Amino acid sequence: MTIRHVVSWKLATSDDAERAEQTARITTGLESLPAVIPELRSLQVGVNVIPGDNFDVVLISDFDSVEDIRTYQEHPAHLEVSAYIRSVVATRSAVDFEV
């Protein structure tokens, strides 16, 4: 069984330059996690390319179990990245499902 963890974020800023800077920092931070969190089986980050009311960034990651997701979520490297993300987002949505 694989658990897919999908999270989307809408950034709080309306400034295009600031949004680009924040999405780059979010992407870099998230993409650094597989190297330090062995429970993280795969990770993909996408940045929205169509302006509007859509979410700005999406994370798609795979884990072997719900327990592995919890380990990932409690890992210090994840906590550091997620603290920054929380500081710049207005809205978040998440879904975890079996694939």
Output the 3-class SS for the chain: CCEEEEEEEEECCCCHHHHHHHHHHHHHHHHCHHHCCCCCCEEEEEECCCCCCCCCEEEEEEECCHHHHHHHHHCHHHHHHHHHHHHHEEEEEEEEEEC
- The domain containing residue 41 runs over which residues? 3-98
What is the per-residue pLDDT across 20-75, written as a single tens digit (0 to 9) for each? 999 999 999 999 999 999 999 999 999 999 978 899 999 999 999 999 999 999 99
CATH number at residue 38: 3.30.70.100
> Which neighbouring-strand residues pair with 31?
none
Supply the pLDDT for residue 18: 97
pLDDT at residue 9 greater than cutoff 90: yes
Supply the pLDDT for residue 52: 82
pTM score, whole prediction: 0.94
78 neighbors 33 (Cβ within 8 angstroms): yes
Number of compact structural domains in the chain: 1
